[in-house]
Amino acid sequence: MASHQTPVLRFAIYFAPPPGCLLHELGASWLGRDAHAASEIPVRNSAVPDELISDARRYGFHATLKPPFGLNNGCTEAALTAAIAHLASGLDAVTAPALSLREIDGFLALVPLRHCPALDKLAATCVRDLDGFRRPASEDEVQRRRSAGLSKRQDEYLLRWGYPYVMEEFRFHITLTRRLNDEERQIIEPLARKHFTSVLGQSLVVDALTLFREPEPRRNFTALHRFALRASIERVA
């Protein structure tokens, strides 16, 4: 008799703009999916080639703070939820510099115009303080990550934290596409700039941690809970 393995749940801690705000609406209509309301599919910008955004759509409109992870043995979703709520209650919200549209490692993304150490600190805290809930990366996953080519530090972080682009290797960004070639970038960058023009140059308030869940591999991530950060906001000069 064939054995049936239970689908592996994965969770992630993201920043996602609050439903109803302009950035959220623009992100949902760009991707054609609202991760906060999985049953509602917003009208997508039909000029954007679907094959260039389908990967980003699956994850939802977000910036990663703690990358996707399976639960460690003995950990529960309820315990993870409680831990995130407790963590968020002790962290300050952050006002990041103005948003800009840039390429990061071949991906088109919304990123702060200038480096924001407060965002780095926020992400590092999420990675470190919630690490006890993370199931260690499998050997297959480690080898898959290594096949992309990692620096010595990134490899050390992969083994220690389950992901290579954390701590000093982290860069806050909201991914809009898959990795692009030059021809694809020339097509989609003007579309993205036009679509997000009303938020480019505007500061971004990172005011909550949002718990996302992937029910099984290759399924859509959806938002479960949004945990507000403390009201005192760290201003960026």
- What's the rounded mean pLDDT across residues 35-58? 83
- What's the rounded mean pLDDT across residues 204-231? 93
Q: Is residue 128 part of a domain?
A: yes
**Whether the predicted pLDDT of 235 surpasses 80:** no
Share of the chain above pLDDT 90, in %: 80
Q: Is residue 200 part of a domain?
A: yes
What integer pLDDT is reported at residue 234 of this predicted model?
45
Q: Is residue 1 part of a domain?
A: no
Alpha carbon of 160 to those of 26, 31, 101, 202: distances in Å?
Answer: 36, 33, 31, 36
What integer pLDDT is reported at residue 93 of this predicted model?
96
Q: Is residue 127 part of a domain?
A: yes
**Whether the predicted pLDDT of 226 surpasses 80:** yes
Q: Is residue 67 part of a domain?
A: yes
Could you give the number of structural domains in the chain?
1
State the pLDDT confidence band at 2, using cuts at 50, 70 and 90. very low
CA-CA distance, 208 to 225, in Å (whole number)? 10
Instruction: Tell me the pTM.
Output: 0.91
105: phi > 0 → left, psi -120 to 50 → alpha, else beta; which? left
Q: Is residue 57 part of a domain?
A: yes
Q: Residue 147 is part of which domain span?
A: 10-230
Q: Is residue 131 part of a domain?
A: yes
CA-CA distance, 196 to 159, in Å (whole number)? 37
Q: Is residue 2 part of a domain?
A: no
Q: CB of 3 within 8 A of CB of 165?
A: no
Which residues, in sequence order, are CB contacts of 102 under 8 Å at separation 6+? 108, 109, 110, 111
**Residue range 92-129, pLDDT digits in tens:** 999 999 999 999 989 999 999 999 999 999 999 999 99
Q: Give me the CATH number covering residue 198.
A: 3.90.1140.10
